[in-house]
Amino acid sequence: MMKLSDKPKIVISRTDNIGDVVLTLPLAKYLKEKYPESEIIFLGKKYIKPLIDCCENIGRFIDWDTLSAIPENEQAIVFRDLGAEVIIHVFPRPEIARMAYKAGVKYRIGTSHRFYNWLYCNEKVDFTRKNSPLHEAQLNFKLAEPLGINDIPSLEELGNSYGLTKLPTLDETWRKELDKEKFNLIIHPLSRGSARNWDWKNYNQLIEILPADKYKIFITGTKEESALISENILFYHPTVTDLTGKLDFEQLISFIAHADGLVAASTGPLHIAAALGKKTVGLYPSIRPMHPGRWAPLGPKAKCIALSKDCNDCRKDNHCTCINTITAEQVKKLL
């Protein structure tokens, strides 16, 4: 176990996407419990900042997009001035590993399965994510072993460990859209290529079988997805409230926090909803490593559905047969 100072600064480096970052937030909680006087710093993509700002266990955010735009030698100077004692390379990137090495970060933790970590990391953990039976959120804790965190939390414990307590205020425009007399359900039908999608016909059938007197349904997505969603869902269901492209990320987080539930494939909003304790239904293929054993949403009211067999039919095809065996009736029952 490494010997840290009384008030160490610990950097969690994860420069990938929303869902991945959400599942890394419990690590910050456990680090803060282990080192109460520490400052936990998150290094991530610029657009992730509103999510990190919600987390009570993270004290500072470093924008990798801005940092990576300056010359490499200047990056190392900026990072050295940060005064970090530890960096945990949760999402491995050779350029970040090299920067931390040049910046003289005392403890640099990474997996031993990346060749560049043998050059730039002085604490290497022997594990691989690809074939592990552990959930993604649990795998993050393998990298905490050099810091004396040796017990991997259960999925139930992780589902209550996000620390998303500093939520932004929801704009009154969007607050008025919520119906206090109904179950406010968000459907997020697309995944920007990060997951296999449920077919449009399935989402349309789900909307049709949910009682209109009990459910108010919202559709979310990006501005770029708006036309596709309008053509395939809103055209058939004009009473559904269209929020595609209308909410920035901060307001999307807040709207999810004020809604009652969310249905989606394995996307960032799905994991945010689970982390906020919302009734969450995730739609998954059985193919490794996309299956729910690795990427299920974790939260007190989170559920997921997948075909109960190993499936490789869609490995080279984005149209997934097994995810589309999930029926609208199954989703309705979980809701």
pLDDT score, position 314: 60
Phi/psi at 166 (nearest 5 deg)? -105, 65
Q: Compute CA distances 44 → 52, 59, 113, whole Å.
A: 9, 14, 22
- Rounded Cα distance between 72 and 98, Å, is 9
What are the φ/ψ torsions at residue 279 (nearest 5 degrees)?
A: -70, 115
Q: Give the model's pLDDT for residue 290.
A: 80
d(CA 269, CA 206): 19
Q: Which amino acid is at 41?
A: I
| pLDDT for residue 302 | 98
Over residues 132-182, the pLDDT tens digits come to: 889 999 999 999 999 999 999 999 999 999 999 999 999 999 999 999 999
Q: How far is CA 148 from CA 26, 27, 136, 242, in A?
A: 16, 13, 20, 48
Q: According to the model, what pLDDT value does residue 318 have?
A: 59
Task: Measure the CA–CA gap between 147 and 63, rounded to whole angstroms.
Answer: 25
> How high is the pLDDT of residue 131?
78
Q: In this structure, what is the dihedral angle of CA atoms 111, 117, 121, 125, given to the nearest 10 degrees?
A: 20
What per-residue confidence (pLDDT) applies to 72? Answer: 94
Give the residues across from 216 on adjacent strands: 184
Instruction: Please report, in angstroms and rounded to a whole number, the separation of the first and last CA atoms in the chain.
Output: 45
Kindly write down the DSSP assignment for every residue of 117-134, as one continuous string: HHHH-SEEE---STT-SS
Which residues of the chain have a pLDDT value below 70? 1, 193-194, 308-320
